[in-house]
Each structure stands twice: as C-alpha cells, then as structure tokens.
Amino acid sequence: MSVLVVGISHNTAPVALLERLAMTRDEVPKLVHDASTCAHVNEATVIATCNRLELYADVDRFHGSVEELSTLLVDRAGETTGAMLPHLYVHYDDGAVSHLFQVAAGLDSMAVGEGQILGQTREALRMGQELGTVGPALNVLFQQALRVGKRSRAETGIDRAAPSLVTAALERVGGDPTAPDDELDPTADLRSSVGGKRVVVVGAGAMAGLATATVARLGAEDIVVVNRSAERAQRLAGEHGARPALLADLEAELAHADLVVTCAGATGVLVTADMVASRPVQKPISFVDLALPHDVDPAVADLPGVTLVDLASLAEALHASEAGREVLEVRRIVTEEVGAFLAARRSASVTPTVVALRSMATSVVDAEMTRLDHRLPDLDPAVRTEVLHAVRRVADKLLHEPTVRVKELANETGAVSYAAALAELFALDPEAVTAVTRPEGLS
C-alpha cells in the first residue's frame, strides 16, 4: 500500500479560495471518479468539508500521481498552477497515514476536537465503497482511522477543547485585561461579559458556529453573523436567532458592536486599526480573534477602550488547562495508533514471501517423496508416513527462524527489504511474491 494525500484546507489557504473549491454532496462523486481514473491511481476517495478538500489515493507512482491529483484541484479552483501550488499539501505513505488519523481524531480541524469530521471521514469511505473506487488499501486505512477517531473521543475529552477555547477567550474579555497572559480568571462572570451585548461573529465555519452558539446561550442581545458567503451566513444565523451580514458590511457592523469574535482565518486582516479608530460611536469594544492567521490587526489593542484577546495570548494558559491536556493525550493516542498500524502493515507485507517460501518447501518435500516412491515402490506405508513426517519436521525447523526473523526485521527502519532478500536467496517464484506485495522502487 502506497497512500498519497493531496489536499487544501483552512491551514494552508484563504477562505475565498476554499469557498471556490467547496463542493455540494452531488458534486463529490465526479471528483472521486476523476481521481480514480488517473493513470497511476489504483484506489481513490475524497474528504470534502467547508474547510478542507483532500484526495486520498493508493498509487503505484509518486511523482506522476501527485501531478495528476494536484491538477484536479487546480482545475476546480480555476487558478493557475503557480498560484494554487503554495496552498496545496502532500502526504505520502507513512505521512498520509498519520495525517488521516489526525484528521479523524479532530486534531486538524479549525475547531479542534469537533465531532463532525468523523462523520465526514466515514462518508468518504462509504462513497468510495459505493462507487467501487475504494479497494483493500484505502478500506483498511479508513476503517482504522474511524476507530482512532472513536477511541480519541471515548478515552479523552477532546470534544471539549474547542468550547474551552471560546470560553477561555470570553473569560479573558470579562476579566482583568491587564492580567498576565498565563493567568485566566476562572471566576469571571461570562454572562456579565456577554449578556445584553451586541456581538458580531465573523466567519461561518465550525469555530464560528461554536462561538455563535456560546454567545447566544450567554444571553447576547443582538448577534450578527458576518461572512463572505451570504448563504452560509444565513444558515448559521438562522440556527441561533442571529442576523446575517456580508463581509462588505463588517465595518458598519463594528460601529455599534460591544464584542467581536473572528474565526475566518483569511489571508490578510479583516479588521484594521483604522476601521476601529474611525467608528462613529466610540465606546469600549472587545475583540476575540480565534483565527489562524489572525483576522484582527494586533495594533487595535493600542487604541483606547479596546481589548484584544487572540490565540497567542491564550496559548500558554490553554496548554496547561484540562482542554490542553486532552489534546496532548489525543496526540499520544494518534502516535500510538500510527505506530501500531505501520508495524502491522510492514508485517503483513512480508506474509506473501513467507507463504511462497513455505509453498516452495512443501513442493520440495512432495518431489522428494515422489522420488522415494519410485525408488522404493514396496516401502511399507507406515514407514513412508513416518519418513514424510520426519522430512516435513526438518523443513519446518529450517524455515522457522528465517520466517520469524523476516517478520521482526520488517518493523525495523532502514533501506533493506528483507522480504526481497529472502525471495532472492531462496529463488522464489517472482509471480508468487511481487504480485501481492508492495511494488519496489516507486519513483
């Protein structure tokens, strides 16, 4: 199995580009089909969300398949290759396994730990199975990724990480703005910092949805969801009794806002110091910037009456918090699961060689017994049976150590293919081995 991931997400691309790549449920099958018909692709499926578009493929050639799959994303975005490539990422083989496990566990989500991605990963597997584009390699990988995601949520509180981030930020806004960055005020009254206030939420992704739900629950008087896409703004606003607005209206909405929570992560700041300084209504305003890269110009913190809380100011405190510890525990689980999966895969990769070796030994024993029958046709059946058992025991004992050692050595790092060496030393039938093992020398 040689798995390749070519993708783009909120970690590498601006929101405007992600929106051009966004796909409806009915559009995804065509992209899966297009990926599966690439010359060097054996299996394929797609994880498509509002914040990521990732092509997963089992390939027989690295460079050719990267070029083919990247072209599919470039064409869909309507960009030039040069403009698009800086926003794409590629994970191959062991790296692809690690990436998918992190995605399924929620570690790569904008709202860390959100559970929706697990269902989206399951949907990618289901669609590939129904279209016939997922075979043994991706099926095993995705099934294990789903188990990793479930285990992460069953054994830790990772699903509380993102809510903790929003809550911690609001606590900081409601507390003493001059307090050290590594001291969150656990007694801050969130309702007093949000209740009855005019709140603007910028963005419409998972983190924005969480922020909107939180301020609504805490009694915000007026909530405005601002987004580049009117449809997504309306959908999120409608879920929480808020008003939708377009990004072009952001400056006007800032005029009367008490609290602004930004979660867009666009390229370039959305809220500049000039926009805040020129507000017609000069009253205290707080900004919570939960985006990476940041949405709010850090210079706004120098303006009178302005409080700014961003990820940098929360990082140390959250790292030491319970939510931070849960994230670290999920990272440990993912690392453990990746190691176990790769070890099992390496052990399985030598199985065909071991089977071929034992088949060869059986053939040799059978040939020698046939010779014995010709030379001693009157041999007593009981004696013949005893001779057969003895020869088989000798063959088994001779093969035991090599087969055990080749499985052990398969899990050691290095460039040597012990399965290939074993096949060469014993002159095994190439068709019995290479037809069912991983191709050597992928270019």
- Point out the residues that are catalytic: 50
Cα pseudo-dihedral 247, 249, 254, 256, rounded to 10: -140
φ/ψ of 29, rounded to 5, equals -55, -35
What residues contact 26, with CB distance under 8 A and at least 6 apart? Answer: none
> How far apart, in whole angstroms, are the C-alpha atoms of residue 298 and residue 267?
15
Comparing CA positions, the residue from 220, 281, 232, 257 lying closest to residue 15 is 232
47, 30 contact by CB (below 8 A): no
Token representation of residue 330: 């999920």
Q: Are 366 and 197 in contact (CB under 8 A)?
A: no
Give the contacts of 124 (CB within 8 A, at least 6 positions apart).
45, 46, 47, 48, 56, 142
Contact 23, 39 (CB under 8 A): no
Q: Going by C-beta distance under 8 Å and a sequence separation of 6 or more, which residues neighbour residue 442?
A: 2, 59, 60, 61, 62
Helices 116-131 and 28-36 meet at what angle, rounded to 10?
60
Kindly state the DSSP code that residue 37 receives in the 8-state scheme. Answer: T
Alpha helices, H only, 37-106 = 62-77, 81-84, 94-105
Task: Tell me the two tokens of residue 104.
Answer: 């399924």
The DSSP 8-state label assigned to residue 108 in this structure reads T
Cα end-to-end distance, the chain, whole Å? 14
Distance between CA 193 and CA 70 in Å, rounded?
46
Which two three-digit tokens encode residue 359? 């088949």
* Two structure tokens written together for 185: 């005020």
What are the structure tokens assigned to 125, written together? 């597997």
57: left (phi over 0), alpha (psi -120 to 50) or beta: beta
- CA-to-CA distance for 262 and 59, rounded, in angstroms? 40
